[in-house]
Structure 1
Amino acid sequence: MKGVVGASAIAGIGSTGAAAVNTATPPTGSGGGITPFMGIERIDGPAPRGMPIIPVEIDDEGVISGRWPEVKEETVQGQTEYLAEEEIGGITYTSQWFQYCGKQTSPALLPRADQDNRFLSSEETQYEWQSELEADEPLNIEHFDDYEDWGNEIGEDGAGKPAAATWRSDGLEGGDVLNAIVMRSPRIEEAAQEDEFLEAATQDGVFAYLNVCTHFCCVPGFKVSDTAERFEDGNVIYCQCHASVYDPFTILEQSFLSFPQPDDVQLPEEGGGGGGEEEGGDGGGGH
């Protein structure tokens, strides 16, 4: 079994595709720039790096949510800007982890956006077991009770039980929606006992990641394609668009050049997308 690695050496910044950047000319604007992040490992194909982890928490009723970094206020050259950033398990967790593939324009990533942090079951799931759930039903740890045995004839049974979800996307549509995979895995449960970051960012073997391929921004899948069995033991994330492959059970520190949030991104309207402290941008979209 391949081990899970946390807080390892910074990986190289990517090279090809839509995620390619010129590291000599970092972007200007609110947020953006060289961004260390914790993500699953890219093990094959053209993707330049892994996909970012979303730290999770589970409430007393078993509802699974993604943690949003603590919002901080800064004054830069007389202008107020907002930062979503905090330390988790010895790692600096920031909203910039998710600012790629156009997601930097989503109101969901504005630091002060008062969005629903629960993971909601996606109606666009490819997992048959999720058909028993209502669309937008909050995912609960009870939905993963059979995680040690679950399988769908792709890869080995018991590696992990996945669910497709949306996160912080109430009232949003199209490219503004944040799609995620939530999974419960014995491998993560075991690894978290010896890793400070995983202990803090996962719970009872439950972890999540933003499901947006870092190559050309497609939506890859875990246990949704027989083609994945050509790689490792089939228990990999495979992007059918351009054959990028990721290992969801190896989580390590990487880096990339995140894009800044445009200054005209507005907080979701109150009542439509969870509301915000105020409508409109304030010139500092935050980091």
Structure 2
Amino acid sequence: MPLDEDKYPAETGRRRFVSGVVGSAALSAVGVGGAAAADSLTSSSGEGGGTTTFVAVENTDGPAPRGMPIIPIEIDGGELKGHWPEYDEEAGVAIDRDYGGSGIDYSSAWFQYCGVQTSPGIYPQAEAENALLNTQGDFEWQGEYEKGATLTVDMFDDYQEWGNGIGNAGIGKPASANWRSTDEGGVSAQIIRSVEVEKMANGEGKYSSLSSSIQDFISEATDQGFIAWLNKCTHFCCVPGFKTQEGSANFGAENAIYCQCHQSVYDPFSPVQKQFVALPRPPQTEG
């Protein structure tokens, strides 16, 4: 399977623009890790990088080179959690091999890009909070609940009707969340509860064409119509959103995940299996 590359060839002006911005002081505004992400891009030192196969919400438009990695869902007493794989000392990563009988290995390396690899909670052995925590950030309904509270199933009871005036109502109810939280913070995630996810998990209708490996993975990684992903655009590390931007309609993305920075679009109901080169984590220091 070929690795995903930048969609813009090296000889184009667009590629030169992107490269120029990456090398500029503007990088200080790039999400988790900031300048540390640049160091990881240009340095061979570190731990746990390399070619990684992962399952993503598909990138369907814009400059993003690949989709964003799916976070498998667990529901524990009504609380929504993102599953973290078991630590494999020999491999040096947290990894669940043959996840859900899919033949796909779910690994902590899926999240090692865009500076996220510098987050304490992404270290394979880290003791971090797997619960998806309310951020109150993007959706008015989340303001009804305490910031930092664990998102729960009952908060999404109206998912079959919910709408906020962006795109069509009833496609799914989203929330922004903090995941793998430690005392030093966590990483950005989004979660949706949708009838489409229920159909996808059961291989119904258009989802009957999913490969058997993707189908088995999604059946295990979703629950009660919930799907989640790491919310870091793979193009330039911005934070996109499902139904967070009214302007998304101008790019045909009102019912999709839209990144307002450079107009990348992702389909949360189209899981794909891809490869990328995971960035190394900074070496851990003795406490």
Secondary structure class of the residue paired with 1:142? helix
Q: Greater share of helix residues, 1 or 2?
A: 2
Q: Which has the higher contact order (CA 8 A, sep 6+)?
A: 1
- The TM-score normalised by the length of structure 2 is 0.79
Instruction: Tell me the residue number matched to 1:84.
Output: 94
Superimposed CA distance per residue, residues 159-218 of structure 1 (whole angstroms, 9 cap, x where no aligned partner) = 110001000113114xxx301001101101111012211110000110100001111101
Instruction: Tell me the residue number matched to 2:52.
Output: 35
Gaps of 5+ in 2: 7-14, 23-29, 31-41, 204-214
**Aligned CA distance change for structure 1 residues 62 and 242 (closer, same or farther; 3 Å):** same
Instruction: Tell me the residue number matched to 2:175.
Output: 163
**Aligned CA distance change for structure 1 residues 92 and 26 (closer, same or farther; 3 Å):** farther
AA aligned opposite 1:203: D
Distance, in Å, in 1 between the alignment partners of 2:2 and 2:145 is 38
Distance, in Å, in 2 between the alignment partners of 1:121 and 1:196 is 29
RMSD across aligned C-alpha pairs, in angstroms?
Answer: 2.2
Give the Å deviation of 1:31.
1.0
1:64-213 residue pairs with structure 2 within 5 A? Answer: 64-74=80-90, 82-86=92-96, 87-89=98-100, 90=102, 91-123=104-136, 125-173=137-185, 177-194=186-203, 195-213=215-233
Instruction: Tell me the residue number matched to 1:14.
Output: 5
Length, aligned pairs only: 243
**Aligned CA distance change for structure 1 residues 42 and 11 (closer, same or farther; 3 Å):** farther
Identity level (%)? 48
AA aligned opposite 2:231: N
- The TM-score normalised by the length of structure 1 is 0.79
Q: Does 1:57 align with 2:74?
A: yes
AA aligned opposite 2:107: T
**Aligned CA distance change for structure 1 residues 11 and 58 (closer, same or farther; 3 Å):** farther
Superimposed CA distance per residue, residues 40-82 of structure 1 (whole angstroms, 9 cap, x where no aligned partner) = 11111111111100001001x20010000111211xxxxxx63
Instruction: Tell me the residue number matched to 1:3.
Output: none
Instruction: Tell me the residue number matched to 1:214.
Output: 234
Instruction: Tell me the residue number matched to 2:279.
Output: 259
1:222-237 residue pairs with structure 2 within 5 A? Answer: 222-232=242-252, 234-237=254-257
Distance, in Å, in 2 between the alignment partners of 1:110 and 1:170 is 11
